[in-house]
Amino acid sequence: MIITNISYILIITTILFFTGLLGLVLNRKNILITIMYIEIMLLSVNLNFAIFSVYLDDIVGYVFVIFILTVAATESSIGLSILSAYYKLKQTIQMEKIKNIKS
């Protein structure tokens, strides 16, 4: 079995987090892609919790992972249901058109 140093995995999770953050800042057109970037950021945080839970031999990290996954799934399902209802009404989900809504 190959033993990986924890710093390599932390570098990967940092890259994942900042990729999600950069995509969130640069994306101004599509709401679905914005939701996906938020999910990437949450999953990189989950990976950090799981890694430190293994490293420290503690179960608290896994409990946080379960809570974060539950919140992320709820956020995605509510966001997608709102988007599908909005799409039925307006036939578009572009961010520019949503920002200009008065009522």
**Residue 1 domain flag:** no
Instruction: Residue 21: name the closest of 4, 7, 40 by CA.
Output: 40
60-90 helix and 31-56 helix, angle to the nearest 10 degrees = 170
- Structure confidence by residue, pLDDT tens digits, 73-96: 898 889 889 888 888 887 877 766
pTM (2 d.p.): 0.78
Looking at the predicted structure, is the pLDDT value of residue 28 above 50?
yes
- Structure confidence by residue, pLDDT tens digits, 41-84: 999 999 999 999 988 888 999 999 999 999 888 988 898 898 88
Q: What pLDDT sits at residue 1?
A: 46
Number of domains in the chain: 1
For 93, residues 6+ apart whose C-beta sits below 8 A from its C-beta are: 30, 31, 32, 83, 86, 87
Domain holding 30: CATH number?
1.10.287.3510
**Residue 10 domain flag:** yes
